[in-house]
């Protein structure tokens, strides 16, 4: 490691600072429509590609722990979406073709489409009933002006924490205890 290379601790603190600033901006947005749509959904479908998709899988798990019926788009057991369902998406660019096709199909089926994105004017945002704009660098932005992290890391980190915040809000609103949720935790690990 050269003298100019930051330590892992310095990298961690830099990431924390970027994430804190980003989440403060997100917290100023109105997240309640997202929570209301999830709470009122017959079923929740989540869809994202790459690391954004992995982040949404974490949200899917927590929403399932809460007792919601949740499916990950692309899994072989995912049923057809229908009216009364919600499609929760994450795409930094808002242009990922598979996510756009799913949003178009969901919208045609009468689903509510929710989007987490960095691009408020994207095709995905235009297809969505609710849009949460995360002020993070898009995946292809390598300028370092919005984030010093690689590619869409800041966006993906924010998606994880936004999902956890939505879950936490819905859980606290439900009045259920941790013991009430525990029986839904995986037991085939």
111: CB partners within 8 A, 6+ apart? 45, 81, 82, 83, 84, 85, 86, 87
For the chain, the maximum distance between any two Cα atoms, rounded to a whole number of angstroms, is 58
162: CB partners within 8 A, 6+ apart? 26, 31, 116, 132, 134
Q: Is 130 an active-site residue? A: no
Out of 16, 28, 75, 156, the active site residue is: 156
Q: How far apart are CA 27 and CA 49, in angstroms?
A: 24
Q: How far apart are CA 68 and CA 138, in angstroms?
A: 31
Residues with catalytic roles: 156
């Amino acid at each position: 490691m050269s003298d100019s290379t930051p330590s892992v601790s310095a990298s961690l603190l830099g990431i924390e600072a970027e994430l804190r600033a980003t989440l403060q901006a997100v917290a100023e947005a109105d997240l309640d429509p997202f929570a209301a749509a999830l709470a009122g959904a017959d079923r929740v479908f989540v869809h994202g590609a790459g690391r954004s998709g992995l982040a949404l899988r974490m949200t899917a798990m927590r929403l399932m722990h809460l007792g919601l019926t949740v499916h990950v788009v692309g899994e072989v057991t995912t049923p057809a979406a229908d009216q009364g369902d919600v499609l929760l998406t994450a795409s930094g660019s808002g242009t990922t073709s598979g996510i756009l096709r799913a949003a178009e199909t969901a919208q045609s089926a009468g689903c509510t489409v929710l989007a987490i994105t960095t691009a408020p004017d994207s095709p995905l945002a235009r297809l969505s009933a609710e849009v949460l704009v995360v002020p993070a660098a898009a995946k292809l932005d390598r300028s370092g002006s919005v984030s010093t992290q690689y590619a869409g890391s800041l966006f993906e980190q924010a998606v994880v924490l936004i999902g956890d915040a939505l879950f936490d809000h819905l859980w606290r609103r439900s009045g259920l205890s941790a013991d009430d949720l525990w029986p839904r935790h995986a037991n085939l690990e």
